[in-house]
Structure 1
Amino acid sequence: MITALYSAATGMEAQETNINVVANNLANVNTTGFKRSRANFQDLLYQNARAVGSAATADTQVPTGIQVGLGTRTASVEKVHTVGDLQRTGNDLDMAIEGNGFFQVEQPDGETAYTRDGSFKKDSEGRLVTADGNPVIPEIVIPENATKIAVGQDGTVTAFLDSEAAGNEIGTIELARFGNPAGLISLGNNLLQQSDASGDPILGEAANDGFGGIAQGFLEGSNVSIMQEMIDLISGQRAYEVNSKAVKAADEILQQTTQLLA
């Protein structure tokens, strides 16, 4: 019964992690460009009371054996990089990626971070920056007398000045993608960082070579489905309750066994 106690305890711990992941997904249901997380689990080692295929007699073998599992553990919590719904804002500096790719931004320490949040602003120097002031890479500087900004699907940025009918190209937004985006490290503030697991970034032009196109005046919503998360939350809660009942049942049997041996 000691084994049952520990096995059920690992189940409770796993479901606690599961519920924490679901809660974070629900908390970010309205976060621009947020990607939901999913907890994955795997079983632990097994106690082999009788090995599969061991000899039963001189001429026969045991077909199944006796294996007792020792519980479960969290194998990984991964980001699911499906595209969220696009939401129209009408703001010239709002951008969404229709497909694969990430915007590149420069962090205060000079390192490059990656994001799907295209709610850009203009700072005091006219640079295109994130809500936290991190400039977009490559740098895009919007002229002070620009009355309108146009961004093409390929990321070409054109500024229309107050005295000119024709626009002036002021730069191009370059995108990055990864062989394993689930391996990116979450930094918070809608930023991701490359890792050995994600691989090096592949840079390219939007709407070309496997990159998604840029939609100006739109933002990508979270890919969290409230209905699915509520189902996962109820499922996790019930699994936690069942494991707690297994702990109680094992404790009662252990108590009875102790009384018999007393």
Structure 2
Amino acid sequence: MPFNIGLSGLNAAQADLQTTGNNVSNSGTTGFKRSRAEFGDVFAQSFGGISQTAIGSGTRLQAVTQQFSQGRTEFTENGLDLAIDGEGFFVLNDQGSTVYTRAGEFQVNRDGFLENNQGQQLQGYPPQNPNTTDPDFNTGQLGDIRLQTGDAPPQATSQIEALVNLRSDAEAPEDDFDLTDPDTYNFSSSLTVYDSLGTARDATVYFVKGDGNREWTAHVGLDDGTDPYGSFDLEFDGSGALSSVDPEPAQVTVPTAALGNGAEPLVFEMDFDGTTQYGGDFSVNDLNQDGFASGRLTGVDIDSSGVVFARFTNGQSSVLGQVAMANFRNPQGLEQLGNNNWAETFAAGDRQLGAPGTSNLGTIQAGALEASNVDIAQELVNLITAQRNFQANAQTISTADQVTQTIINIR
């Protein structure tokens, strides 16, 4: 019996050494979770035996459980590296099978999909309105996240906001308005607008003082045209505030023929709200429009909620998807698959899917990786302890052998 007890102790110490050695060997593995060997005593007792005098029969390995504590966050120079701060797992598509990981080392493959170094594709939710900044996602549809690599479509100008101050003491020009003759208007200001093909156009707003003290006319011209494409009468009250615009809405229409590139007619409204007639100098407080040209992809950003944004050279961005995360009631029940992957099991409980930062799911840190949660100092101490346990159990066997040898040598 002492031999069996000592042997069980040797086996237990060896299992402890192997578990600790596996932890040490994975101290540099991204997203690795250290394991702990758990033991139980062996106690054999026959029916009717006396427990007060019964002796145990050694020990045995009950389980090797992973410890899902948070690893430290290490920042990298790769914007597609993702670290989870909190609970949860990334969801991966492994050739039709679903696996889970804490390792967020991702890159873009030749087809534009986000995948890890095993070729497993990151799963997420598609946007309900692609190519926009609309943050609404179809959370009922889980699929591969794909980065858009084509040009972002242009947007034609639909509105110009003109917020200016017109000098109240300006004098009306003597001649009729001619946009090619600066003597026929008082002030002007230009900005860039865009047609339906994203071609940039120079638009100019000309302001002409009317015969009345509170009357002005705004003419809108485009590029090198000789005639305005829209003219609007502005009237101010005695305090200098804009009281009326005629016609309303102040709409400008540039026909396709005038654009010369086959674009759709350029139609936009002029918004003069906030324009004033004060005694100060002419000033342009705000003159902007809502159109933009086409753009090429310059980069991809992922925020803490897992929303993937594409940035383009035209200053615009669009939502490509949202990273999905999963969690389980008992993560220690997950099946280890190797390569930093786990598979769901009955013991782990039902899978809970959601967006990062919701429910009990953690948030995402882009440009960073979660390091192994192995504490080398603690593991080295564990190695010493396991070694001592092994030596002590070996001594138990050696002592039992000496006792047995003594009995055999009795004459």
Q: TM-score, normalised on structure 1?
A: 0.91
Is 1:97 equivalent to 2:248 in the alignment?
no
Separation of aligned partners in 2, 1:236 and 1:147:
54
Q: Which moved more, 1:39-48 or 1:212-221?
A: 39-48
After superposition, where does 1:140-151 map in structure 2 within 5 Å? Answer: 140-144=145-149, 145-151=296-302
- Measure how far apart 1:45 and its partner are: 2.0
**Gaps in structure 2 of 5+ consecutive residues:** 125-143, 150-295
Aligned partner letter, 2:70:
V
Partner of 2:311: 160
1:37 aligns with 2:35: yes
CA apart distance, 1:211: 0.7
Tell me, yes or no, if structure 1 residue 184 matches structure 2 residue 342: no
User: Match of 1:251?
Assistant: 401
Query: How far off its partner does 1:72 sit?
Result: 0.5
- How many residues were matched structurally? 245
Query: CA contact under 8 A between 1:105 and 1:114: conserved in structure 2?
Result: yes
**SS state at 1:159 partner:** strand
Match of 2:349 in 1: 199
Matches within 5 A, 1:33-72: 33-47=31-45, 51-52=50-51, 65-72=52-59
Q: Determine the C-alpha separation between the residues in 1 that align with 2:322 and 2:45.
A: 60
1:233 corresponding residue in structure 2: 383
Structure 2 CA distance for aligned equivalents of residues 259 and 201 of structure 1: 65
Q: Is 2:113 the counterpart of 1:113?
A: no
CA distance, structure 1, for counterparts of residue 29 and residue 16 of structure 2: 20
Partner Cα separation in structure 1 for residue 393 and residue 323 of structure 2? 51
SS of residue in 1 equivalent to 2:308 = strand
Deviation at 1:50, TM superposition (A): 5.5
Larger Rg: 2
Distance 1:256 1:146 in 2: 84
8 Å CA contact retained: 1:47, 1:70: no
> Aligned to 1:125, which of 111, 116, 119?
111
How far residue 47 of structure 1 moved from its aligned partner, in angstroms, is 4.2
**In the alignment, which residue of structure 2 is the partner of 1:59?**
none
Paired residue secondary structure (1:67) = coil
- TM-score normalised by L of structure 2: 0.58
Return the letter of the residue paired with 1:41. F
Separation in 1 of the partners of 2:115 and 2:49?
Answer: 64
Structure 1: runs of 5 or more not aligned? 53-64
Letter in 2 for 1:251: D
Alpha-carbon distance between aligned partners in 1 of 2:90 and 2:297, rounded to the nearest angstrom: 23
Deviations 1:204-262 (A, max 9, x none): 110111110000111000000000000000000000000000000001101111222x5
Distance, in Å, in 2 between the alignment partners of 1:35 and 1:234 is 21
Identity of counterpart residues, as a percentage? 34
- Report the Cα distance in structure 2 between the residues aligned to 1:50 and 1:24, rounded to whole angstroms: 41
Aligned-partner Cα distance in 2 for 1:202–1:105: 15
1:114 corresponds to which letter in structure 2?
Y
Partner SS, residue 239 of structure 1: helix
Q: Residue type of the partner of 2:360?
A: G
Distance 1:203 1:228 in 2: 34
1:22 aligned residue: 20
C-alpha RMSD of the superposition = 1.3
Higher helix share goes to which structure? Answer: 1
Shift of 1:90: 2.8
